[in-house]
Amino acid sequence: MKVRYTNRRQFTTQMLTLSGGALLGKRILRATPLIEQLPSPGGVLLRRMKWLNEPASATVSETQLVVTARPKTDFWRKTFYGYITDNGHFFHLPVSGDFVFEARVAGQYVALYDQAGLMVRIDAQNWVKCGTEFFENTRHASVVFTREFSDWSTMNDLATSGPVWWRVVRKPDSLETLCSSDGKNFTSVRMGYLVPSATADVGIMCAAPEGGGFQCVFDNLKLTTGGK
């Protein structure tokens, strides 16, 4: 399955019922403090990204990445449940050293544990995911740190509907996860240990552990390298 690109009119018609047509402001920061505005989702950043576990569908327009997660997908290792599941969807690129990555995330959260957000991954045993997750019939801000065994922390989501911005900040041996309701004022949700590594894969993730699959929307992707 390849990422499918549509023209503006086709995509707008398709997405009227999803997220209201939020704009994508993808930017990539190189070694200098200057930010380059990408011309489109087919620009430098997304063209470097690839799937770990392809979703049921993925559509890129000039403004958004829309993904339909497959059913019975998740990222989890051992703790409490005793199983390893590593078939969630992760659209990523490798980044060296310190970085800041963020995106605005929206989804049609309905089934238990429907989830969409960001992920940083060293390997199958060492990774972090954060985003909105649906359980107890409501949305939660959810963070999972995994070092062979997964843990899980949650709090009330910043919104009961609509998108939430998520940001990850990587340092040599740590990762901080933050969220925001406006893309400007971010609240730190959790900081934890991440195995030091020269390169990590970073990007967006989604999964539908219990439901029949669900749609989610990612925009405003931004990557800053070299620390902040």
Domain boundaries, the chain: 24-225
pLDDT value at 24 more than 70:
no
64 secondary structure, DSSP code: -
Q: What is the pLDDT of residue 227?
A: 56
Question: For the purposes of burial, counting CB atoms within 10 Å of the CB of 137, is it exposed (0-12), middle (13-18) or buried (19 or more)?
Answer: exposed
What digits encode the pLDDT tens for the residues 101-132?
A: 999 999 999 999 999 999 999 999 999 999 99
Q: Helix, strand or coil for residue 30?
A: coil
Q: Could you tell me which residues are beta bridge partners of residue 119?
A: 129, 203
Over residues 67-75, the mean pLDDT reads: 98
Looking at the whole model, is its pTM more than 0.85?
no
Answer for the pair 46, 26: CB distance below 8 angstroms, yes or no: yes
Closest CA to 144 of 186, 217, 86: 86
Q: Could you tell me which residues are beta bridge partners of residue 76?
A: 85
Mean pLDDT of the chain: 84
pLDDT value at 61 more than 90:
no
pLDDT value at 190 more than 70:
yes
Of the candidate CATH numbers 2.40.50.140, 2.30.38.10, 2.60.120.200, 1.10.260.30, the domain formed by 24-225 belongs to 2.60.120.200
